[in-house]
Amino acid sequence: MSRSAARDARKLIRPLHGDLKRLLQQLVRTNSVAIPPGGDETPSQLVLQRFFRDQGVGAHLYATEFIEKSGNPLVRKNRSYRGRKNLSTRLSGTGRGKSLLLNGHMDTVPAGKTPWSRSPWSGVYQGGRVHGLGSFDMKGGLVANAAVICALKKSGIRTGGDILFESVVDEEWGGSGGTIAARLREGGADACIIPEGTQLDIYRATRGGFVVDLSVDAGDPAAYFSTAEVVSPAIPCGRLLGWVEASAKQRAQVRPRGAYAAFSDPVPVQVLAVQANLLDPDIPLSVPSRATLRVYFQFLPEEDVDAVIQGIKDALQQFQANDPFFRKYPIQWTPLIGAPLLGHELPADHAWTRCMAESAAAVLQRKPVITAAPYPCDAGLMHRDFGIPTLLFGPCGAGAHNPDEYVVFDSVLRTAEVLLTAALAWANG
């Protein structure tokens, strides 16, 4: 990969800078929050479609609802796809090259209840950053993908293989429905890039994930202030937290073989929420009768996830059997999103990894870091279930799934340059 390829990519992206910044701001200002079972992505998809139209690119919006009746076993039953539209556009190649898929999700998580410094939908550009919900996860990445399409279209360059762009719904909360719809409608590709936030590192692997609510009902709320003995799950819940900690220590014994080998905590176990009554002025001083822990387990790409989860369940059963309180008031196991997400791993010496590494080196003028994602995403599905070699490479930023999220706009442009360089090398190679 020559420096001149990177220079050419920079030259093709440069005239788009202003339009790309405005697009990103507009996308952030357009609410596309998904809360299961639904999601409100379509207004943002329309913004993106309009942008493409102004750039002379035809892009199609299509309903994703058809997957509910597709019979595809990957489709989650607890979701609704009514009114939720994917957007796609394809630059057809000459047929003498490898195809590339540029995938990204338009949905964001909700803004949460922790206050933000400014509105989650401000889209303000300040200090080189675009601020707001979804800016980093992953509207910045979507804009970088869109830049590749517009630059290619404007230049009139016809690649060998097809370049397919898609902006999908229902990625957050592990839904995967948008990407499933896209594969059923658009078919596969020889490689895929997902520009989730990676701080301009290349992630060649992702983890699997599973969220489960552990709930306990005990006692009678009416008994508080009324009877001598009050039963509540709140204090026993502390012992259950102790079990989670023991479980985390047990998991920490797992030795990763591949991309996660250098991670200090390769298979984290986190408590996402602890609830037993609310600290809310509307709630009187009272003893809770229900306590819930929301626990998040992650898995290595090489692990047998079903077996690991069964092991965790068995250990929980044992803990319950040894605790008189939980014997009487059993722990309820309620998976939040259904079946676990699975991770994936692409070899470091795979042709697509090498292509991306060379492109990143040419644009960034340094050796890129090639590592693994500290999270699961659609990449696992893309790679495992649809057989498309998938990498993550995206902009710098912070605050994904938290207040004051932002993306560094320059890094969105760098992402676009790297992806364009890689697209030309891959699709013409």
**Cβ-based nearer residue to Zn ion, 146 or 312:** 146
> Which tokens sit at 392?
């993550």
Residue 33 touches Zn ion, criterion: CB under 5 A: no
| Size of residue set near Zn ion by CB under 5 A | 3
Q: Taking CB under 5 A as the criterion, which residues in 310-329 touch Zn ion?
A: none
Binding-site string for Zn ion from residue 178 to residue 197, where x marks contact by CB under 5 A and - marks none: ------------------x-
From residue 229 to residue 268, the character string flagging contacts with Zn ion as x (rule: CB under 5 A) and all else as - is ----------------------------------------
Partners of 60 in the β-ladder:
88
Q: How far is the CB of 193 from Zn ion (least distance, A)?
A: 14
Q: For residues 109 and 157, which CB has a smaller minimum distance to Zn ion in the complex?
A: 109
Report d(CA 63, CA 49) in Å as an integer: 14
User: Encoding tokens for residue 403?
Assistant: 């207040």
Q: 38 or 311: whose CB is closer to Zn ion?
A: 38
d(CA 136, CA 395): 7
Nearer to Zn ion, 41 or 137 (CB): 137
- Contact between 137 and Zn ion (CB under 5 A)? yes
Question: How far are the Cα atoms of 218, 301, 318 from residue 332, in angstroms, in the given order?
Answer: 12, 28, 14
Smallest distance, Zn ion to C-beta of residue 389, A: 19
Q: Which is nearer to Zn ion, 8 or 137 (CB)?
A: 137
Q: Which residue is nearest to Zn ion (CB)?
A: 137
Helix ranges (DSSP H) in 257-328: 305-321, 324-328
Nearest residue (CB) to Zn ion, 137 versus 201: 137
Question: Do the beta carbons of residue 401 and residue 209 sit within 8 Å?
Answer: no
Residue 200 identity:
L
Q: Which of 16, 48, 75, 138 binds Zn ion (CB under 5 A)?
A: 138
Rounded CA-CA distance 426/429 in Å is 5
Tell which residue, 135, 160, 193, 180, has the closest CA to residue 408. Answer: 135
* CA pair distance 115, 404, nearest whole angstrom: 9
Closest distance of CB 399 from Zn ion, Å? 12
Residues that bind Zn ion (CB under 5 A): 137-138, 196
